[in-house]
Structure 1
């Protein structure tokens, strides 16, 4: 059994996920990265506290296989961070059913399956943690172009709350982390040139808040964290 806590992290090859992976290792965690491309390991990782798993969020059996492999190797899962996400600017009334299905598969169903796959291990530790990377688009619809994406992220934020209630009596705490524009490839796409990267929230800032939430005791649950680089409606 691995002595240090073990994190399952999807979407860790770049952006916010890569920063979470580095921040977790800096705090003594062993990180299991689910990667579509096994060669896309972020720079700066400590090999002795890292393993990788071929993971595609659209493959519905992948989460169970990943969790089983981690438990077989390490004997524990202490945190699950669902950072993999998909962005679209397609119209809510013009998007095809296939595009909607793919968006919900990646942004909602895959995080639910990942939590489900590791649930018994999270319970066994008495202080399991689940972080769902939502978005401020999961709290308000800022534009017509973000409407469909917002639908998927509203669902992701709801998932975090549902998991928090489901796991509460077992010591599991779940948090929805909801950033606005972040200086990542996805953030720059979403901004459409409206804001330079240096004026966006930096991914390492989001990672810091994720690890702070994970590190709190069971008596200091944080259901949601909102992060923004600008004044934006109620946020």
Structure 2
């Protein structure tokens, strides 16, 4: 159905675990050459080994220009260029207003939003050279659509990514480069394993499809945005949440289940 992505050079930031690792694995499964990027080299290399194929690990602090530039240079050296950037790196430490410090805020904005800008900037020359570059940003429903106590900095960073995507899409269009965002809802990753069955039950009860998403649900969307066939789609956001943001209240879900 789709043209092959085999042999394409792909960077996945925040690729050592969770959604990022799922995205990296999905691209590797179709024969792409994947650079898994994380702050910690050991974690990046372990993820690349688990993914298999030609996947390689690389460590960088992507909140700095030097780290983003080193990442782009590593992908070019390993794979001959850059065709696809999946800007997925992100953190979500909780801190409510009144407790959150300026350093807390800056750390989240730097890791989530600033790194998106820096990674795009660092990869831009190689993406232009490819002639049909693809950028996929991992945003979230939290911030652009919903809110959650303790995550005002996270929500701001994720809403900011969407603002970045819209203008970047206009600027990059003349070069054949598209940029789009995936917006995950509650996705089951290893980071949630310690929260217990009660947490999962409550989360599943708030989702019309009655289950948390899997990393593969996000990875499949990222893969689609990276295809040649998606070349006329740019500046768009795709919510992937099992319908989580749709009910106006929990009563709507009760009515859904009513016989």
Same fold (TM over 0.5): yes
| 5+ long unaligned stretches in structure 2 | 1-5, 249-259
CA distance in 2, matches of 1:28, 1:183: 25
In structure 2, distance between residues paired with 1:106 and 1:137: 16
Gaps of 5+ in 1: none
Q: 1:224 aligns with which of 237, 253, 256?
A: 237
| SS of residue paired to 2:226 | helix
Q: How many equivalent residue pairs?
A: 232
Q: Which moved more, 1:17-26 or 1:133-142?
A: 133-142
Among 178, 202, 210, the alignment partner of 2:183 is 178
Q: What's the TM-score once normalised by structure 1's chain length?
A: 0.88
Shift of 1:188: 6.6
Give the structure with higher Rg (CA).
2
Q: Is the 8 A contact 2:187 2:214 kept in 1?
A: yes
Residue of structure 1 in register with 2:33 after alignment: 30
Q: 2:78 aligns with which of 57, 73, 94?
A: 73
Cα separation, partners in 2 of 1:221 and 1:160, compared to 1, 3 Å: closer
**Distance change >3 Å, CA 211–CA 190, structure 1 → 2:** farther
1:39 positional shift:
2.5
Aligned mates of 2:186, 2:193 — CA distance in 1? 8
Supply the distance in 2 between the matched residues of 1:133 and 1:159 (Cα, whole angstroms): 12
Q: Which moved more, 1:57-66 or 1:126-135?
A: 57-66
Q: What is the CA-CA distance between 1:131 and the residue it aligns to? A: 0.8
2:188 match: secondary structure? coil
Conserved 8 A contact 2:178-2:233: no
Displacement of 1:34 in angstroms is 1.1
Deviation at 1:60, TM superposition (A): 3.7
CA positional deviation for 1:189: 8.3
For normalisation by structure 2, the TM-score amounts to 0.80
Are the counterparts in 2 of residues 36 and 54 from structure 1 also a CA contact under 8 Å?
yes
Shift of 1:199: 1.9
* Contact kept in structure 2, 1:80 and 1:130, CA below 8 Å: yes
